[in-house]
Amino acid sequence: MNQGAEKIIDRLDAPEVFCDGALAISFRQDVLRFTLYSDRINAEERANVNRVVVGQLAMPSAGFVELYNQMTAVMARLTQAGKVHQVEQPRSLPRATDGGREPHPAWSVVPAQEAGG
């Protein structure tokens, strides 16, 4: 994807976005779109946690493939370090919406005390 890119320019004023996860991921018009959220405690009630949309990320499919490859490499390193592990998913009947494909592997974070950190 970096064809023709001569150097990386690090903008110090580029915003940093923290999110707890993705509410939705969609693929429309050759663009992957992520809706990112952060959990926030209701300041008045101090009990309820609200999911607040904190950003949108859109990228072309080629950029997503590059991101996926990088994330796959990170998952391998996290697995080797004992920070995450693959979990068994029960086999279910193929759904019409997924074209009958097998489910993707699921992962779980290893609690810090078990991971040695």
The model's pLDDT over 70-98, given as tens digits with 9 standing for 90+, comes to: 999 999 999 999 999 888 766 665 544 45
Domain enclosing residue 77, as ranges:
21-87+105-115
In single-letter form, the type of residue at position 24 comes to: A
Q: Is residue 8 part of a domain?
A: no
pLDDT number for residue 96 = 45
Amino acid of residue 17: V
In a domain, 7, yes or no: no
DSSP annotation string for 45-99: TSS-EEEEEEEEEEEEHHHHHHHHHHHHHHHHHHHHTTSEEEE-----PPPGGGT
Q: pTM value? A: 0.68
Residue 65 lies in a domain: yes
pLDDT of 112 over the 80 cut: no
Residue 97 lies in a domain: no
Is residue 92 domain-resident?
no
| 99 domain residue, yes or no | no
Q: Classify residue 2: in a domain, yes or no.
A: no
Total structural domains in the chain? 1
